[in-house]
Structure 1
Amino acid sequence: MQFRCFMRLVVVCLLAFLYAPSAFAQAAPSDAPDPAASEETAEQPPAVATPSTESVEPADTTRTLSFFLLGNLDGRLVDIDCRREAPVDDKGLHYARQAALYNRLVTEAKTTAEKPIALNLGDSTFPGALARYLLTSAEGAVDFAATLDQIPYTAHALGDAELGMERAQLLNFIEGATPPKLPLQAANIMCNEEGGAEAICEAVGTGPNRKPWQVVERDGLKLGVVTAIDPDVTKSIAKERAAGLDFADPKEVLPKVIEKLEQQAGVDMVVVLYHMTGDASKDDAIELASTVRGIDVLFTNRLMHSPKNPEDTATNGHVVAPVTGTYIVGANTAHTSAVTVDLNLERAAEDEPWRAVSIDSRTRQTAPLEPDAQTAKMLRDLAGLYCEDWSKPINPRLALVHPFSDEDLKTFILNVMRFSTDAEVALVNEQTFVQTDVFPIEKELSLADIFTFVPYNNKLVTVEVPGSLLAELGKRLDGPLVAAGLTKKGDKVLVNGRPIQTGRSYRVATHAFLATGGDDILPQDKIEDLRVFDPAWSDEPPTIGTLVAEVVRTADLPDDAETVDQLDPEASFPDLYRKFLWTYTGAINASFNKVSVDNPVGADGEPSYDQSQLNVNSTTQINLEGNGEVKANSRNHGWENRLLVQYAQARVAPDPNGPLADDFEETKDLIRLRSTYQYAGFRANAGGEWYVPMPFAEMQLESEFSKPKERDWHKVELTGIGGAKFQLFEPLEIKLGANARRDINQPDGETTYGLNAGYTFNRTDLIDLLGKPIQFESELEYFYNDIGASNIQELRNTNRLYFAVIDQLFFTTTFQAFLYRTDEVGEFGSNTELTVGLNYLWDETVQSF
């Protein structure tokens, strides 16, 4: 066995020795002439075949496609500072640097097949200042599109920045995109029956007889490019901006488009651009690529946070979709970078389909590059027009009281919003404002300052917001929300310096995006009375930026502001905490009680049954209570007026089995009018500390509809009280003071003097029951008069629970107590009453401006 193995090894070595020279000669190139080839008569070994010297074309089984991707430019093609002699410096020529990178890649390409395919993932327009300026006119839109076309895109996705523009500006952009052949795409945008959006569908290829794709060829390989937009884009744009449009599910649209691309256009590969919005973009992209077959590579403007994997926050890079193996590449380049992609393809044979086998995606920073000269010239020329039109002071006579920071301008804009609409609060999302390099603004405001800072064309609206919801929104002021008139102090939320009242509604100025459900900040089932601000000076409802510019131009500021000849973020507007907040309240309580008893009488003339329920007198009782209140409160002053009317009558049977009495008798008769003034300035200056007193003066008048039989005069009692109140906490307030009382109709009546104490627990929510609050209020007042003589003591107390039945109708339970004592009698007289009934409450709150 060992001998046979040894012999096999010897034979292998001999064969290798014999054939090695010819093999080496064939493999190694040499410039030396072949001696055998120069001797025509030389005999060739018959057993060895001479290899062919004819060239053989290599099989076309591998390719590399190159892509150049931009996404989320946000209109920031160039940084402009009109305060400089040269508004644009080289550092700010962002798009010219991106164009320079593209041109360099084109130059470096050795063949047409290697030339990169340029694709734009959308959001090229807003909120950049130059784009905002250019898209206000048709001519400017042409210039803007021509500038974008300095990079010759095969496809440009339509994103939420484009759809979020005013419809007129979007149509300008679409019209401007036509001459330089800027190919806009969105295969899942459809026009609905509402109409008015046909030009958009025509532009993106979903109109009649249009194709929502582009085909590009590289060395015989056909590549189909189609775009889809995330349907959730509707959450990030105002509803009126999407009027006439439907956003179909890409998972339903793309398979049909891909099938047509393959059958009608004969493409070899399919690229999908997916414009996305929201933090879950990575998961959404993977779901789409895993569901739709036939996508070779998917490019998206976002490849960001994944709720499933919170630690995964990569902006760009690539992932592979499960099931389909589709490559997904993120290209959130903004204005400072670009993403380049090399997609490597293979096929088994020339008649077999291509497939992507590997990918190389890289994010390239463009800041170090020299700007492309032609693009830079275009940007500088457009910047010159921008500065010429928008950098001049809107009102040269209205200077800034001090240089404005971004927070100053933000506060000024919010105050313009609320004082233009008589709203107590202005509330917007933080993204309403765009941070720029124009701050501080030194002298006057210009259109450039305003429209750069608030570039979105949002309309100003007002809505009625429940106090309970506003309190919750106030807790988010450190995060996504900013406001004027709404502040957070510790764990308290204040409206113009006052504790928020959860039981009332507030008029809030905001923009249409939030008011119609944008960012899920204002729940649509909780806000009411949406009104679009539509002033007489404008042909149509103005945007917030346009309103601010008009206010500055006309100096239309409140006359009673602290500063009227200069612009101040706060002092150009009145402090609403120092203005009266008027509250009007009306309530009616009613209850009816009827007891009927029929206890058969026996032969002895006595009731037959001894059950307690059958041994009471029949009764009919009617109780009515009316309460009207007018309050006016400001930072330093408070004025409260309250009218209470109580009246009740009853008919009672003289004996358990007898009929009811013919006449009703009064069981309650009270008219009380109270007017109170308090000074709250000391407490306000001390930061609202509970121990700082609020001096008050009060006048009470108490009377009746009819005098009782036991008294000869009609009661008209006047009481004057002076003292101090203490707000222990919201809603509990106590008071201590001195009083003087006299019944002015009492014969020989005298004024008595004494002490007064009491508390007020304002109506507040206790708990929720069946989704509705149970509310409670309580009041107690105690008088101690003619001290040392008659020692008159009087205490009155009212406690009431409310449960909402519908809207302003409440089920109520009321307990009232009245105690009275003098030394002449020596013991307390009392009246206590427990009433169950219905309460109709009406209230209205009006802020003085």
Structure 2
Amino acid sequence: MKRFYFFLGWIFFLTGAVLAQDKIVKLKIVETSDIHGNYYPYDFILRHEAAGSLARVYEFVQKERETYKDNLLLLDNGDILQGQPCAYYYNYIDTISLHLAAEVLNYMKYNAGNMGNHDVETGRAVFDRWAGDCNFPILGANIIDTVTGKTHFKPYEVLERDGVKIVVLGMITPAIPVWLSENLWKGLRFDDMEETARKWMKIIREKENPDLVIGIFHAGQDALLMGGKYRENASLEVARNVPGFDIVLMGHDHTRELKKIKNVEGDSVLIMDPASKGGVVANADVTLKLRKGKVVEKHISGVLTEMKNYTANKDFMARFAPQFSDVRDFVSKKIGSFTETISTRPAYFGSSAFIDLIHMLQLEITNAEISLAAPLSYDTEISKGDVFVSDMFNLYKYENMLYTMKLSGKEIKDALEMSYDLWTNQMKSPDDHLLLLREKRREGATDRASFKNFSFNFDSAAGIIYTVDVTKPKGEKVTITSMADGTPFSLDKMYKVALNSYRGNGGGELLTKGSGISQDELKDRILFSTDKDLRYYLMQYIEKKGVIEPHALGQWKFIPEEWVEPAAKRDYEYLFGKVEK
């Protein structure tokens, strides 16, 4: 009996000794993505209070740090340098001060950042300056210097917390050349995400032997091939096909996502996407059990945490009050006046004053014969009366250059055919929708939630007279009757066409897939490019004119009108709630 009790006691001792060696480490991973200049809880464009913002995120993070201390890892997933005027101001106006985006992220103690396509859009002078101002690494494993063959940014960051080694690998969608002028990213190339992930995962495993691997990818989950060679939105493909990731943090598509998937080896990967503008953060909890310094158990879960329940952090607002004041003064400058209120809402149903103003400005600035343009903001307006710098971010949302390109009449028609196919339903009866709409709205994507396709690809034209028959199938909707001055339009003739650099580089694929121009040939079609963004020239134009009289040109319309008019009223109400008088 004594032996039995001695043996039993020895077992308890050994068990206790083993358990005493176990160590539990808890980590909190917080991701922001697609902030688009929303550092403050204030909309400098509409000039009123706004939801979301990094100021609210900081309040949330500080509360979480009370529990997690340094075990909270804060990561940003790109598209932080474009959107609100406070980003534009420190990109192009005040280029001497530390970039506000860097100062804010430093203050909030981010551990790593990632590049987004709209960060590249600001140009190398801007994004390299911003990255240099950050006190933490900006990642970009698939952004390659074409001279050295090495990554332009750090490919991954190693973080150690309580004996746990965490590796964060950052990548961007490689489709940058489809959207942005080469002068903005000259000397760089953007490699395929999956190939890059395989390369670096091998290096990470052999060199770092990590306990936790996080992928932070500025790409969504609905993969597609763009420009015939760029795999866009490949985050899920990487998570599935490249074993080793525990968490994949997505961005770019402005759509909330939270789920777990199995990779090819059967391991679970947590997928998260916090949409945009700091309205939500991706919030992951990681619990690891270590025995003799090695991870023996790993539990990972996540939630999307709403920031509307958090007030803007007072210390944050006080620290960045001077910059807030500078930006507010900038956007409050009057540049002219409009005789009429213009809105993007009518632009979906026919010729409209909003889009036709852009057409007229593009044609006048370039002396082109034809203009192509789309509503870049889903739902916005500029009121009649005094017009301010802030209104220009409503008139033109992105920092696109203005191109003049040579396109044949057939290429113009084919581009419009694809545009209206993305834009309109094929009506089979008067009761059908005029517009091509989603059955369900995309949560967290309120800027384009109702359309099946992105409204910034809904190009209309000016300089030609044409109709769009919505009863016709794809490729047969558009009939061009003449040039705007009544002279003949020819499918065989080459025309000078004004359009933005996004479209001219192949964005939306209207010129590649629609017109049949190869991605490589697009460069040769560019006759002229502005050296500054189109918004800059629009501001100059309006300031010079003083008074602008916006009006619809009436150069195109949907037919048959007896079907279109009642359908347009129904769809307007579906999109916007009520029909304007």
Equivalent of residue 249 in structure 1, options 186, 192, 215: 192
- Residue correspondences, number: 483
Q: How much does 1:504 deviate?
A: 2.5
The answer to whether the Cα contact below 8 Å between 1:318 and 1:361 also exists between their aligned partners in 2 is no
The answer to whether the Cα contact below 8 Å between 2:405 and 2:528 also exists between their aligned partners in 1 is no
The answer to whether the Cα contact below 8 Å between 1:135 and 1:172 also exists between their aligned partners in 2 is no
SS state at 1:138 partner: coil
SS state at 1:72 partner: coil
Please tell me the residue identity of whatever aligns with 1:188: N
Distance 1:321 1:267, change over 3 A: closer
SS state at 2:175 partner: helix
- Alpha-carbon separation, structure 2, partners of 1:82 and 1:273: 29
1:423 equivalent to 2:377? Answer no
1:331 equivalent to 2:302? Answer no
Distance 1:530 1:259, change over 3 A: closer
- Alpha-carbon separation, structure 2, partners of 1:122 and 1:103: 21
Distance 1:248 1:530, change over 3 A: closer
Equivalent of residue 192 in structure 1, options 142, 146, 155: 146
1:133 equivalent to 2:89? Answer yes
Per-residue CA deviation, residues 80-135 of structure 1 (Å, 9 max, x unaligned), is 46699xx554x4462211111111111233xx57x321111211221222211221
Q: How much does 1:362 deviate?
A: 0.6
Equivalent of residue 299 in structure 1, options 219, 224, 249: 249
Q: How much does 1:166 deviate?
A: 2.5
The worse-fitting range, judged by mean Cα deviation, of 522-531 and 379-388 is 522-531
* RMSD, matched Cα: 3.7
Equivalent of residue 122 in structure 1, options 70, 78, 81: 78
Q: How much does 1:68 deviate?
A: 0.7
The answer to whether the Cα contact below 8 Å between 2:116 and 2:218 also exists between their aligned partners in 1 is yes
Q: How much does 1:416 deviate?
A: 0.4
Distance 1:339 1:401, change over 3 A: same
> In the alignment, which residue of structure 1 is the partner of 2:396?
454
> In the alignment, which residue of structure 1 is the partner of 2:467?
488
1:554 equivalent to 2:544? Answer yes
Distance 1:384 1:405, change over 3 A: farther
Distance 1:296 1:47, change over 3 A: closer
What residue ranges of structure 2 are gaps of 5+ in the alignment?
225-231, 348-352, 424-454, 470-476, 562-581
The worse-fitting range, judged by mean Cα deviation, of 545-554 and 371-380 is 371-380
- Alpha-carbon separation, structure 1, partners of 2:378 and 2:40: 15
1:392 equivalent to 2:333? Answer yes
SS state at 1:67 partner: strand
> In the alignment, which residue of structure 1 is the partner of 2:28?
66
SS state at 1:331 partner: strand
> In the alignment, which residue of structure 2 is the partner of 1:231?
174
Residues 726-745 of structure 1 aligned to structure 2 (within 5 Å):
none
Per-residue CA deviation, residues 738-765 of structure 1 (Å, 9 max, x unaligned), is xxxxxxxxxxxxxxxxxxxxxxxxxxxx
- Alpha-carbon separation, structure 2, partners of 1:66 and 1:247: 31
- Alpha-carbon separation, structure 1, partners of 2:182 and 2:220: 16
Per-residue CA deviation, residues 381-433 of structure 1 (Å, 9 max, x unaligned), is 323211212321124xxx321233346444322210012222232213444x4
> In the alignment, which residue of structure 2 is the partner of 1:158?
115
Residues 303-322 of structure 1 aligned to structure 2 (within 5 Å):
315-322=257-264
SS state at 2:386 partner: coil
- Alpha-carbon separation, structure 2, partners of 1:420 and 1:302: 32
Please tell me the residue identity of whatever aligns with 2:484: N
SS state at 1:461 partner: strand
Equivalent of residue 341 in structure 2, options 390, 403, 406: 403
The answer to whether the Cα contact below 8 Å between 2:240 and 2:262 also exists between their aligned partners in 1 is no
Distance 1:239 1:387, change over 3 A: same
The answer to whether the Cα contact below 8 Å between 1:415 and 1:570 also exists between their aligned partners in 2 is no
Give the % identical residues: 16
Q: State TM-score, norm by structure 2.
A: 0.73
The answer to whether the Cα contact below 8 Å between 1:153 and 1:182 also exists between their aligned partners in 2 is yes
1:505 equivalent to 2:494? Answer yes
Please tell me the residue identity of whatever aligns with 2:87: A
Higher strand share: 1
> In the alignment, which residue of structure 2 is the partner of 1:839?
none
Q: How much does 1:294 deviate?
A: 3.1
- Alpha-carbon separation, structure 2, partners of 1:278 and 1:501: 42
Q: How much does 1:346 deviate?
A: 4.8
Please tell me the residue identity of whatever aligns with 1:411: D
> In the alignment, which residue of structure 2 is the partner of 1:628?
none
Distance 1:63 1:497, change over 3 A: farther
Distance 1:466 1:576, change over 3 A: farther
Distance 1:278 1:350, change over 3 A: closer
Residues 301-700 of structure 1 aligned to structure 2 (within 5 Å):
301=251, 315-323=257-265, 325-335=267-277, 336-346=279-289, 349-350=291-292, 352-354=294-296, 356=298, 358-378=299-319, 380-395=321-336, 399-406=337-344, 408-431=353-376, 433=377, 439-475=381-417, 476-477=419-420, 478=423, 480-485=457-462, 487-490=466-469, 491-494=477-480, 495-496=483-484, 500-523=489-512, 524-525=517-518, 529-533=525-529, 541-555=531-545, 566-570=547-551
Please tell me the residue identity of whatever aligns with 1:401: T
- Alpha-carbon separation, structure 1, partners of 2:461 and 2:310: 43
> In the alignment, which residue of structure 2 is the partner of 1:286?
236
Q: State TM-score, norm by structure 1.
A: 0.51
SS state at 1:334 partner: coil
Please tell me the residue identity of whatever aligns with 1:190: I
Q: How much does 1:270 deviate?
A: 2.3
Distance 1:508 1:267, change over 3 A: same
SS state at 1:458 partner: coil
Q: How much does 1:191 deviate?
A: 0.6
Higher helix share: 2
Residues 650-799 of structure 1 aligned to structure 2 (within 5 Å):
none
Q: How much does 1:324 deviate?
A: 5.1
> In the alignment, which residue of structure 1 is the partner of 2:427?
none
- Alpha-carbon separation, structure 2, partners of 1:168 and 1:45: 80
SS state at 1:444 partner: strand
Distance 1:143 1:344, change over 3 A: same
The answer to whether the Cα contact below 8 Å between 1:285 and 1:328 also exists between their aligned partners in 2 is no
Structure scoring higher RCO (CA < 8 A, sep ≥ 6) equals 2
The worse-fitting range, judged by mean Cα deviation, of 92-101 and 495-504 is 495-504
> In the alignment, which residue of structure 2 is the partner of 1:77?
39
Distance 1:316 1:133, change over 3 A: farther
SS state at 1:413 partner: helix
The answer to whether the Cα contact below 8 Å between 1:126 and 1:455 also exists between their aligned partners in 2 is no
> In the alignment, which residue of structure 1 is the partner of 2:163?
220
Distance 1:470 1:108, change over 3 A: same
The answer to whether the Cα contact below 8 Å between 2:335 and 2:542 also exists between their aligned partners in 1 is yes
The answer to whether the Cα contact below 8 Å between 2:368 and 2:404 also exists between their aligned partners in 1 is yes
Please tell me the residue identity of whatever aligns with 2:145: C
Equivalent of residue 100 in structure 1, options 51, 56, 59: 59
- Alpha-carbon separation, structure 1, partners of 2:239 and 2:3: 61
The answer to whether the Cα contact below 8 Å between 1:298 and 1:326 also exists between their aligned partners in 2 is no
The answer to whether the Cα contact below 8 Å between 2:382 and 2:391 also exists between their aligned partners in 1 is no
Larger gyration radius, structure 1 or structure 2 = 1
The answer to whether the Cα contact below 8 Å between 1:88 and 1:383 also exists between their aligned partners in 2 is no
Q: How much does 1:174 deviate?
A: 2.2
